[in-house]
Structure formats: structure tokens, C-alpha cells
Amino acid sequence: MNAFSLDAHAALVTGSSQGIGHAIALGLRDAGARVVFHGLSEKSAELGAALPADAPYLACDLLPATGPETLLAAAFAAEPALDTLVCNAGSFFDLPLLEMTRERWQKTLDLNVTATFFLVQGFVRRLAAAARPGCIVITSSTNGFQAEADSSAYDASKGALVMLTRSLAVSLAPLGIRVNGIAPGLIRTPLTHTWLETRADDLVKHYEKKILLGTVGTPADCAGAVVFLCSPAARYLTGEIIVIDGGLTIAQIGRM
């Protein structure tokens, strides 16, 4: 048996129309899993070209209270044998601290934390009813461990996901459901693109010195860790968070 094979497994990856989620979904498919893709927008010609032709794609807004259940119902209809959930959908809505609004604070927590919890709850209810073991991976961030200026809501939400991962691992172990997480560092995604490109001459160069491996990460750098966590090779892991940051958070100074 190939310990890293996901043959006979089926996964829903939220936020997989682009960026880290897209790379994760493709990585799971490469390992043999059947994958249901998800995004906020309806499928366009451009989006369709980026998705495997035979993969289901579901458009669903996770912010409304009904969003998680709506997505899960559609995902299980498309792939009844789902046993893997990757909670990757999330975003950044912060303004500078003194300009931050209650609306943006609540939107951050609703999408990044609350939607994740209720996706997991609905997913687990279905698996428990079928007496089916499973695997859950939650995307947090190095912001869950280290703070960033003008990022209070985002940092708080990612810190919450770190502890949510551990709490869920405790609660779901008796059901045979493992829960782990990843914490990406600085990754080139559509969310970070504008910020990185406008600061290529100073901020990016600073980060390239701070990151021990010398370069900003790509979404594909996150995929392997998730494939591992979902595979039989990680069958004895639960409650763990894998930091994927090229060594960004390890050294105090970085490279000179």
C-alpha cells in the first residue's frame, strides 16, 4: 500500500477556486482523491479553464448563517462518499486599527472562524450518521502565532483557528476523525499579489532575507503538507499544526 495515496477518498476543499486552496485541491487529486472544488463566484470561462474538467465546482457564499449547510448539502449530493474536508476559505478585511469598523471585525470572524466551525459540525454529523471515519484540515496562518500591524481581526481569527483545530481534535477523536491544520507564512496568492508587487523593492527584499529559504512561498508549497495530513501516512497525527513558511518564524534575525 502507498502510504501517501488518497485513492478511494473524496474531499471538499473550500476556497479552492484560486490561491492556496486551488493548489491543495489539485494536490489531493494528484494523490488520487476525488475533489469537490468551491469558490465564491459562479464558474466563468476563466475559472473553468483553471479547474479539472471532471471535477464538481460549487459556488457558495459562506458568510450567511445558511452558507455552510448549503455548501455541504450540495457537496454531498455531488460526492456522497466525502470523507475529507479542507477548510481553507477565508480572507482579510482589516483597516488600520483606529479606522477598523465593527462590521469588518465581525465579517472577519464570521468567515474565517464561524463558517469553519459550522462546516466542520455539519460535515461530522454526516460522517457520524454513516459511521464513517474521516479527516479534516484547517488553514490557519503564521498570523495565528505572530502578530502583524493593522491586522487585529485577521490575527485574532487565525489564532482562533489554531485553538479550534486542537479543540476539534479532542472532540472528534472518539469518532475516528482526525483534525490537523496548516499555518502558511508569506505566500504569493491573489490576496497578497497587489501588496507584494507594490513593495517588491523594499518589503519583499526584506522578507527574502528574513525567510531562511530565501524566497516568498507559492500556493503549491502548501499542497504537499495537506496531502500528507490527509493520507494514511499521517494516521497517527491529530491536533497538529504544520507551519509552512520557509523558516520565516524560526530565526530572530534571518539571513544578513
Query: Taking 70 as the threshold, does the pLDDT of residue 194 lie above it?
Result: yes
Q: Strands across the sheet with 10-13, in order?
A: 57-59, 34-39, 10-13, 84-87, 134-139, 177-184, 241-244
Q: 3-class DSSP state for residue 125?
A: helix
CA dihedral 138, 25, 226, 140 (to 10 degrees): -30
Of the residues 57, 154, 207, 236, which is catalytic? 154
Question: For 82-107, what is the mean pLDDT?
Answer: 97
pTM: 0.96
Q: Is residue 47 a part of any domain in this protein? A: yes
Q: Which of the four pLDDT bands, split at 50, 70 and 90, describes residue 173?
A: very high
* Domain containing residue 76: 10-187+218-244
Q: Is residue 159 a part of any domain in this protein? A: yes
CB-neighbour burial class of residue 118 (10 A; exposed 0-12, middle 13-18, buried 19+): middle
Q: Is residue 250 a part of any domain in this protein? A: no
- Concerning whether 154 is annotated as a catalytic residue, the answer is yes
For residue 46, what are the contacts with CB-CB under 8 A and spacing of at least 6? none
- Position 190 scores a pLDDT of 82
Q: For residue range 16-74, list pLDDT tens digits in order.
A: 999 999 999 999 999 999 999 999 999 887 888 889 999 999 999 999 999 999 999 99
**Do the Cβ atoms of 88 and 120 come closer than 8 Å?**
no
Q: Is residue 207 a part of any domain in this protein? A: no
Q: For residue range 134-169, list pLDDT tens digits in order.
A: 999 999 999 999 999 999 999 999 999 999 999 999
Q: Is residue 105 a part of any domain in this protein? A: yes
Instruction: Give me the CATH number covering residue 133.
Output: 3.40.50.720
Q: Is residue 254 a part of any domain in this protein? A: no
Q: Is residue 204 a part of any domain in this protein? A: no
Q: Which of the four pLDDT bands, split at 50, 70 and 90, describes residue 122?
A: very high
- Position 200 scores a pLDDT of 64
- Position 6 scores a pLDDT of 98
Helices 152-172 and 115-129, packing angle to 10 deg: 20
Domains of the chain: total: 1
Question: For 131-136, what is the mean pLDDT?
Answer: 98
Q: 79: how many CB neighbours lie within 10 A of its CB?
A: 18
- How far apart CA 111 and CA 46 sit, in angstroms, is 25
Rounded to 5 degrees, what are φ and ψ at 22? Answer: -65, -45
- Position 195 scores a pLDDT of 74
Q: For residue range 198-237, list pLDDT tens digits in order.
A: 776 788 888 888 999 999 999 999 999 999 999 999 999 9
Q: Which three cell numbers stand for residue 208?
A: 527574502
Q: How far is CA 216 from CA 115, 161, 203, 211, 245, in A?
A: 29, 23, 11, 8, 8
Helices 220-230 and 19-30, packing angle to 10 deg: 50
**Distance between alpha carbon 209 and the CA centroid of its chain, in Å?**
26
Percent of the chain predicted with pLDDT > 70: 99
Q: 3-class DSSP state for residue 187?
A: strand
- Position 1 scores a pLDDT of 58
The DSSP secondary structure of 209-241, one letter per residue, reads HHSTTSS-B-THHHHHHHHHHHSGGGTT--S-E
Instruction: List the alpha helices (DSSP H) in 11-129.
Output: 19-30, 45-50, 67-78, 102-109, 115-129
Query: Taking 80 as the threshold, does the pLDDT of residue 101 lie above it?
Result: yes
Q: Is residue 18 a part of any domain in this protein? A: yes
